[in-house]
Amino acid sequence: MEFSLVAKDIQSKARAGVVQTAHGAIETPIFMPVGTAGTVKAVHQRELKEDIKAEIILGNTYHLYLRPGLNILEQAGGLHKFNGWDRPILTDSGGYQVFSLAGTRKIKEEGVKFKSHIDGSALDFTPENVMDTQRTIGADIIMAFDECTPYPCDYTYAKNSMERTHRWLQRCVDRFDSTEPKYGYDQTLFPIVQGSTYKDLRVQSAETIASFGREGNAIGGLSVGEPAEMMYEMTEIVCDILPADKPRYLMGVGTPANILENIALGVDMFDCVLPTRNARNGMLFTTQGIINIRNQKWSTDHSPIDAELGGYVSTFYSKAYLRHLVHSGEYLAGQIASVHNLTFYLWLVKQARQHIIDGTFRDWKDVMVKKLMTRL
Ligand code: PRF
């Protein structure tokens, strides 16, 4: 994997760059649609490519390991072959999901013992087997096995957890570096900064993570319920320490405003379920602000979902039609809304990138943050 910086904003710490992977280039800043179980929910691959213009999608180790399982993924020749997505894929390690989804779980130095949320069977994730699993899934970018602390989290717990995440990282690196890709193309491992909302822990974690000298770095443990200002404060501390010549990935973030504010602090990559999950509940992000398409006021609005955004579904379908589909419980409602929201998120980061290159990012961002969070 290679990262090159294309431009730096003069008014903020925002950067524009290009990440080269075995499955093609990613222009940063980038938003990565979440495809937990090998599918971005309600969106098919041709829409992802041609309408949304996604450059990379996420998969999840925890879900893919449980279903369809490693044998089937290996038979297929990896996830790219299995789901027909031939551009880059990043897999999260399952650390986060074990903590948020699994039933009873026990965290030990060796790893995490938990029960599957599907059939209750007993499972064991260790830094080593999570590396092997991600090798088998065949993701281009694989994530270290970490513990995402909840918010709030007391200092002693946060410190012990962070230190364990660092020890687990050493084991991830040892395993990853002593194994080969399964399908002939390069994979790369990103470590994850933790440290909850404590400045000194974030500094310590960022310095430790940077010292591993990997090809990219991630920031975890944020956007877990803390105030946005606290998240920005932590992101800034960490970005100032992580190397400038490597991509920085902020995990699980966020709203359009969160994304723009974190781009201004030096973050390059984002993922979040918000655009797809909220789409399935009728919440649309548009260039004019936020719409709840269920509201009566849209029932007679025959204008496009978002004429300014462009893109096929956002201009072809009207608000009144989409509202009708939602109220009728039609599957097409979830599909149209998901494609629209993702088109919007990819448009947003592309706009951000262009404004960074043009040297107008901060002024543009300050206007957009207010506009995008307006409820229409
Ligand atoms: N760790 C991992 N995945 C994550 C997170 C984390 O801390 C977060 C936190 N926002 C989202 N996804 N491995």
* DSSP-assigned states of every residue in 315-364: HHSBHHHHHHHHHTT-HHHHHHHHHHHHHHHHHHHHHHHHHHHHT-HHHH
User: Any idea which residues carry the catalytic annotation?
Assistant: 92, 271
Is 359 annotated as belonging to a binding site? no
**Protein residue with its CA nearest to atom 7 in ligand 1:** 220
Is 95 annotated as belonging to a binding site? yes
Q: What is the CATH number of domain 2-271?
A: 3.20.20.105
Return the SS3 of 132: helix
- What's residue 118's pLDDT? 86
Task: Spell out the long-range contacts of 170-179 with Cβ–Cβ below 8 A and sequence spacing 24 or more.
Answer: 171/126, 171/127, 171/128, 172/127, 172/128, 172/130, 172/131, 172/144, 172/145, 173/144, 173/212, 173/214, 175/127, 175/128, 175/131, 175/132, 176/131, 176/135, 176/142, 179/131, 179/132, 179/135
What's the pLDDT tens digit per position in 290-327? 999 999 999 999 999 999 999 999 999 999 999 999 99
- Asked if residue 17 has its Cβ within 6 Å of ligand 1, the reply is no
- Asked if residue 93 has its Cβ within 6 Å of ligand 1, the reply is yes
Q: Which atom of ligand 1 is nearest to the CA of 145?
A: 13
Residue 102 predicted with pLDDT over 70: no
Residue 101 predicted with pLDDT over 80: no
3-state helix, strand, coil in the chain (%, to 5): 45, 20, 40
- What's residue 256's pLDDT? 98
What's the pLDDT tens digit per position in 212-266? 999 999 999 999 999 999 999 999 999 999 999 999 999 999 999 999 999 999 9
- What's residue 120's pLDDT? 87
pTM of the model: 0.98
Is 94 annotated as belonging to a binding site? yes
User: What ipTM was reported for this prediction?
Assistant: 1.00
**Protein residue with its CA nearest to atom 3 in ligand 1:** 96
CA of 96 to the centre of ligand 1 (A): 5
- Phi and psi (nearest 5°) for 107? -95, 120
- Asked if residue 267 has its Cβ within 6 Å of ligand 1, the reply is no
The preferred substitution site among 189, 192, 272 for testing ligand 1, maximizing ligand atoms within 8 Å of CB, is 192
- Asked if residue 146 has its Cβ within 6 Å of ligand 1, the reply is yes
Containing 31, the helix (H) or strand (E) segment is: strand 30-32
CA of 141 to the centre of ligand 1 (A): 15
- Asked if residue 221 has its Cβ within 6 Å of ligand 1, the reply is yes
- Give the residue extent of every domain in the chain: 2-271
- What's residue 286's pLDDT? 98
Q: Which atom of ligand 1 is nearest to the CA of 221?
A: 7
CA of 291 to the centre of ligand 1 (A): 28
